[in-house]
């Protein structure tokens, strides 16, 4: 029941009045999405597409899940707004459900509007707790679009707005396929990346460093699963030098990797863990920081100087309660793990054998990247780092014309459908990607 006249009007008004993120405004031609359900969305003409891009908003339980839609409606009928200094049922219950799932004793939850402000507040808490200022963050990361969050970001989106005024120092995380350390094995890469990090800490002066922020599995920058031992090593270095370890789980959290939080794969507990998106399947803006008892205690009698009007908004937290309960009831986290182990992992390993444009595949759960190259020998990327390319644009168009909305970035196509996608839907999407990789092979030597 798509109204194509309304969709055309939406397109015209968008072009006239809407200013888009990260874009040259006049070069845009945005698809109008008029409706969605489960793993599918419909454009303004009523054409259906499989959503293989859901890592962006972390639509983890799919579009328009009736349990969440009903919970939002029920909360709207009961209580829509309240100053954050009052307690309310939705926020208290959401905080409990989140605290019960975060690792270790990260049991206090500070709610924000999204991921960037969660990271801003985590850094502020670390600075006030330690009395130090600098922040270490990794290249090939994304932490948000606000002032500090974009500065600590380590992907090219930082370049235009980096004022270098926030005390950020970047380090190289492990990435064996394009190693910065001349490593030949994962073990070597992990160890050398840790040695590099420790040197950086020593040369910067440990006593000047408040926090180290790291996406547990970096997402929009390319889905890099850290090698064994790396995150434990980071945890040990942070403990050794009194640095607060902030795990950014805005993209990897809430089931996407086949665990509630990705840190569980690596058996580490950060001092602060930030989340957003998947906490309520992206239905209403919400993010937050899960805080260790030690850091929470710093603000036991001394006020925390920070806050947001909508901290834990009732509609957003009601959606979180419904999302988390639905994920438990429907076994969504285990399903995501199963899809990664039994369907996506093997399918992508097969692509890597059959398609000469595939340089590397990597991921966990429903969080996978296919890295495309022009030449497997030289590993020359299909598109340059930090830029779009006609070849990638052609592959994106080929996905769309086959009824699939991809998540694509530079030289990568990600496989990131909703966590509750069915096996049949997933296989249909992978078959489309298989065809599109045939086109990619035409660009490769």
Tell me how far, at minimum, the Cβ of 119 lies from ligand PMP, in Å. Answer: 6
- Each residue 154-193 as x (binds ligand PMP by CB under 6 A) or -, in order, gives ----------------------------------------
Tell me how far, at minimum, the Cβ of 96 lies from ligand PMP, in Å. Answer: 23
3-state secondary structure of 23: coil
Q: Which residues are CB-contacts of 73 (< 8 A; sequence separation ≥ 6)?
A: none
Residue 116 near ligand PMP by CB under 6 A = yes
Comparing CB distances to ligand PMP, the nearer of 225 and 398 is 225
Comparing CB distances to ligand PMP, the nearer of 142 and 260 is 142
Which of 251, 358, 396, 405 forms a contact with ligand PMP (CB under 6 A)?
251
Tell me how far, at minimum, the Cβ of 251 lies from ligand PMP, in Å. Answer: 4
Which DSSP state fits 386? T
CA distance 404 to 307: 40
Residue 282 near ligand PMP by CB under 6 A = no
Residue 73's CB: how many other CB atoms inside 10 A? 12
Comparing CB distances to ligand PMP, the nearer of 38 and 115 is 115
- The answer to whether 427 and 377 are in contact (CB under 8 A) is no
Q: Provide the token pair at 93.
A: 């219950």
Residue 278 near ligand PMP by CB under 6 A = no
Residue 114 near ligand PMP by CB under 6 A = yes
Tell me how far, at minimum, the Cβ of 421 lies from ligand PMP, in Å. Answer: 20
Per CB under 6 A, the segment of 115-123, 406-414, 420-428, 431-439 that binds ligand PMP is 115-123
Q: Which uninterrupted H or E stretch holds 319?
A: helix 314-330
CA distance 386 to 394: 17
Tell me how far, at minimum, the Cβ of 144 lies from ligand PMP, in Å. Answer: 4
Residue 250 near ligand PMP by CB under 6 A = yes
Sign of CA dihedral 324, 330, 332, 337: positive
Q: Which uninterrupted H or E stretch holds 375?
A: strand 367-375
Per CB under 6 A, the segment of 23-31, 213-221, 316-324, 330-338 that binds ligand PMP is 213-221
Q: Which uninterrupted H or E stretch holds 247?
A: strand 244-248
CA distance 130 to 244: 8
Q: Chain centroid to CA 191: how far? A: 25
The tokens 């597409």 sit on which residue? 49
Which of 34, 59, 168, 220 forms a contact with ligand PMP (CB under 6 A)?
220
Which residue's CB atom is positioned nearest to ligand PMP? 115
**Number of residues forming the site for ligand PMP (CB under 6 A):** 15
Tell me how far, at minimum, the Cβ of 427 lies from ligand PMP, in Å. Answer: 27
Tell me how far, at minimum, the Cβ of 143 lies from ligand PMP, in Å. Answer: 5
Residue 270 near ligand PMP by CB under 6 A = no
178 exposure class (CB count in 10 Å sphere: 0-12, 13-18, 19+): middle
Which DSSP state fits 31? P
Residues that bind ligand PMP (CB under 6 A): 114-116, 119, 142-144, 215, 219-220, 248, 250-251, 276, 287
């Amino acid at each position: 029941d798509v109204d194509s006249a309304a969709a055309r009007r939406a397109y015209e008004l968008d072009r006239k009045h809407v200013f888009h993120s990260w874009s040259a405004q006049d070069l845009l031609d945005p698809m109008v999405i008029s409706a969605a359900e489960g793993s599918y969305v419909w454009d303004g003409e009523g054409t259906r597409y499989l959503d293989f891009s859901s890592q962006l908003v972390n639509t983890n339980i799919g579009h328009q899940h009736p349990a969440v839609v009903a919970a939002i409606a029920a909360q709207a009928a009961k209580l829509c707004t309240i100053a954050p200094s009052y307690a309310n049922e939705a926020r208290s219950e959401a905080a409990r459900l989140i605290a019960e799932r975060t690792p270790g004793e990260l049991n206090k939850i500070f709610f924000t509007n999204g991921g960037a402000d969660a990271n801003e507040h985590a850094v502020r808490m670390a600075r006030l707790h330690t009395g130090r200022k600098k922040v270490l963050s990794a290249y090939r990361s994304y932490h948000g679009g606000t002032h500090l969050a974009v500065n600590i970001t380590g992907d090219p989106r930082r370049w235009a707005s980096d004022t270098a005024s926030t005390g950020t120092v970047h380090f190289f995380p492990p990435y064996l396929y394009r190693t910065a350390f001349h490593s030949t094995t994962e073990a070597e890469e992990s160890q050398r990346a840790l040695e590099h990090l420790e040197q950086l800490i020593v040369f910067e002066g440990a006593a000047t460093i408040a926090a180290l922020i790291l996406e547990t599995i970096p997402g929009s920058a390319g889905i890099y699963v850290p090698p064994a031992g790396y995150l434990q090593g980071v945890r040990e270095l942070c403990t050794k030098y009194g640095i607060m370890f902030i795990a950014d789980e805005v993209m990897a959290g809430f089931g996407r990797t086949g665990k509630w939080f990705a840190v569980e794969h690596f058996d580490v507990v950060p001092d602060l863990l930030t989340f957003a998106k998947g906490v309520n399947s992206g239905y209403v803006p919400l993010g937050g920081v899960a805080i260790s008892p030690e850091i929470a205690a710093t603000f036991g009698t001394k006020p925390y100087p920070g806050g947001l009007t909508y901290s834990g908004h009732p509609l957003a937290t009601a959606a979180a309660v419904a999302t988390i309960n639905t994920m438990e009831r429907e076994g969504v986290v285990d399903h995501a793990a199963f899809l990664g182990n039994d369907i996506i992992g093997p399918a992508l390993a097969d692509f890597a054998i059959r398609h000469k444009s595939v340089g590397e595949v990597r991921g966990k759960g429903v969080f996978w990247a296919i890295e495309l190259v022009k030449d497997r020998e030289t590993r020359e990327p299909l598109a340059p780092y930090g830029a779009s390319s006609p070849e990638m644009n052609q592959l994106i168009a080929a996905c769309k014309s086959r009824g699939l909305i991809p998540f694509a970035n530079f030289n990568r196509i990600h496989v990131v459908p909703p966590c509750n996608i069915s096996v049949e839907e997933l296989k249909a999407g992978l078959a489309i990607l298989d065809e599109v990789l045939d086109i990619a092979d035409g660009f490769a030597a």
